[in-house]
Amino acid sequence: MKFKSINFSCKNCGAYLKFSPISNSLFCEFCDTKESIENSLEEIEEYSFKDALEVLSRVDRREIEKETRCSKCSASFTISSYSISSTCPYCGTPIITDFTKKIEAKSLLPFQISEKKAQKLFKKWIGSLWFAPSKLKKFISGEYNLKGYYLPHWTYDSETSSQYIGERGDIYYVNVERRVVVDGREERQIVRESRVRWTHVSGEVRVSFDDITVGASKTISHTILDNLEPWYTDVLVPFNQKYLAGFDSEEYLIGLDDGFDFAKVKMKRVIMGKIKNKIGGDQQKINNIATQYQHTTYKNVLFPIWTAKFKWNNRTYNYAINGQTGKVTGERPYSLLKIMLLVITVAIIIGGVIYLDFNPNILNYF
């Protein structure tokens, strides 16, 4: 299917404009012209999760191949069905197309971190890694091209009510007789040992959740996306195509309902913490939780991410940088030699402590 593509041209020299995180405006790389992006007063809305699922159940979910034409060089090419913005493979001009999904992104977080700053943050992160190969930092010292993405995320709000059954453990102490070795001689001593008294408990906790974020892309692994959090959604801006200029962006590949399953996992961790606090005591066991989700709403948003990869010892490592906060996360190599030296050092220390424990008089010789 053919899609119209647009770009934004410089009013002075006619070259294409890109969004600049430094100036928060469109920027011409050829004549340094800046074009501001007007502030929108449009309210960031929450949408009914239940109503959206009913609409989506009637939608044809077949993927549509996007064929488009560059407005600069007039070349025709095809981009992935879920791509919203990209660059012309022939002349490098940024192109932006329409959404194909029923649910469109209505808001986004603009890039706040430039590519140059992202490179510096990555090098600092590499230098801070424990047990990384010594030569890795020097290997990464060159400039590496980063890819800027606006990747789709779902945010969920929900009022939860959780019924639970569990046990409260309270520690108490008893005196027991034990055989112990003192100065090489066996003796009988009374020692205090801890016990746990378990009591059956049940109850209910209510928790309100606001903007639980779930990555809806498959370009980057969920592990990396989750580790890029937090995202500060209180500064979301209404969707504007100008923010996409010069960056790749995508529509969601993980659906609204599947995304909510991921959100439930995140919410469960919080709910379990609340239940343990309510149970009290020294230890807690949670045997069963039944949670109901009410007044659930969602937003489809785009978050800014710098991503790249590097090779080390014939293996590829992926990493990403939060384009709002600068947080870096990703895969990294380990130095087996450094780990082995640490293990040996710890073993020597533990062995020394045990030896002194059984031979306390050895210190008298020093």
Tens-digit pLDDT profile for residues 108-130: 999 999 999 998 888 787 766 55
List % helix, strand, coil for the chain (3-state, nearest 5). 25, 40, 35
2 HSE (CA, 13 A, CB side): 4
Distances in Å between the Cα of 47 and the Cα atoms of 84, 116, 299 are: 22, 37, 6
Distances in Å between the Cα of 186 and the Cα atoms of 189, 190, 353, 354, 359 are: 10, 13, 21, 18, 15
Task: Print burial letters for 237-246: b (CB count within 10 Å at least 16), e (below 16).
Answer: bebbbbbbbb
Find how far residue 321's CA is from the centre of its chain.
10
Who has greater pLDDT, 335 or 263?
263
Q: Which of 156-170, 178-192, 314-328 has the highest mean pLDDT?
A: 156-170
Model pLDDT, residue 366: 52
User: How many CB atoms are closer than 10 A to CB 151?
Assistant: 25
What CA–CA distance (Å, rounded) separates 164 from 267?
A: 15
**pLDDT-wise least confident of 96-105, 275-284, 323-332:** 323-332
Which residues have C-beta within 8 Å of that of residue 62, sequence separation ≥ 6?
A: none
Largest CA distance in the chain: 94
Average pLDDT estimate for 251-261: 95
pTM value is: 0.83
| DSSP letter (8 states) at residue 281 | S
Which residues have C-beta within 8 Å of that of residue 316, sequence separation ≥ 6?
A: 309, 310
